Amino acid sequence: MRIFRTGFAALLALTAGASASAQDESGFQAYLQGVAVRARADGVRQATIDSVLPTLTYNPRVVELDRQQPGTSSTSAVPRFAPYKARHVDTARITRGRTAYRAQRGRLAAIERETGVPEEIMVAIWGHETNYGSYTGDFDLPRSLATLAYEGRRRALFEPEFIATLKMIDRGVPRDRLKGSWAGAFGYPQFLPSIYLRLARDGDGDGIANIWSNEADTLASIANYFLNAGWRSGQPWGFAVAVPSGFDRGVLTPRSLSPRCPRVFERHSQWRTLGEWRSLGVTPQDGRRYDDAVQATLIEPDGPGATAYLLTGNYRVILDYNCSNFYALSVGLLADEVAR
């Protein structure tokens, strides 16, 4: 009897799982019919809709991965930056970055002259996102984005990106090229479809913005993203500083809360000019003298006593690419090492 009960329970679990899967697939297919209407209204050709939507099935794996993403609770502890830096600004990534930097110098210099975005920043984004193109993801983008939109938790993000993917096909991007991360980012710079449509650039004059395998197009597209986000030519992203002992951090508490990524920005101090920071005893570790008029904020990612950084408005441009202090710091530090 005990064996029977155990086996019956297992059978019920399997049946329930199969039923849930069937419900998900049925609901997903019904959802796609609604998306088709919205895609047509947004200018997607009927031929594209007819060629793509019938090929799509629900992908429970991407939903599982999305639900595993860390939350944004302000009460959870912030991990230390040092271990993250050790993984992302490591010797191998620096070495490969310097090799890529030397190989692309002609293109990089031309793009920097046109946009003002430093050569090393372009290389660092490429290196940080896909380790210079070594891994770009193998999830089917239309299937992943449609599934995440159907699931609903972040439909406002994923449904427009799914429709943007259909628009990419309308523009002639081959269907089999649309591979990327589970969350819809793709190519060497890991653009989302809407970003590709808006900001991807042809860097070598062949008429195609190929960010999947073309270095010139990739670097031109990254620079265009940064230019569009407000990069200021001639300003550093930031630099490591020495903070004097006994420094009164209380007077630097931010006065306002950013509506975008508040937990990221609440770790930054008030804005002060570099001249004001110097008068407070906060000085660059590299000994350089920067423009006193430039505005900057202070961050101590691992707390008082560990390395601190002054961050300019260009740091916030890096945050526009990925709203994470650890990410932006690592991009800036990798860029510095690549150019060294």
Alpha-carbon distance of 227 to 235, in angstroms, equals 13
Within 8 A by CB and 6+ apart from 146, the residues are 28, 31, 32, 35, 56, 162
The string of pLDDT tens digits covering residues 120-139 is 999 999 999 999 999 999 99
What's the DSSP call for residue 83?
H
How far apart are the C-alpha atoms of 306 and 340, rounded to whole Å? 23
pLDDT of residue 1: 52
CA distances from 31 to 26, 55, 155, 178 (A): 9, 14, 12, 21
Please give the structure tokens belonging to residue 110: 């031309």
Output the pTM of the full model. 0.90
- Tens of pLDDT along the chain (340 residues) come to 555 455 544 444 444 445 556 668 999 999 999 999 999 999 999 999 999 999 999 999 999 999 987 654 555 577 899 999 999 999 999 999 999 999 999 999 999 999 999 999 999 999 999 999 999 999 999 999 999 999 988 999 999 999 999 999 999 999 999 999 999 999 999 999 999 999 999 999 999 999 999 999 999 999 999 999 999 999 999 999 999 998 988 878 887 777 778 889 989 999 999 999 999 999 999 989 999 999 999 999 999 999 999 999 999 999 999 999 999 999 999 999 999 9
Residue 60, pLDDT score: 96
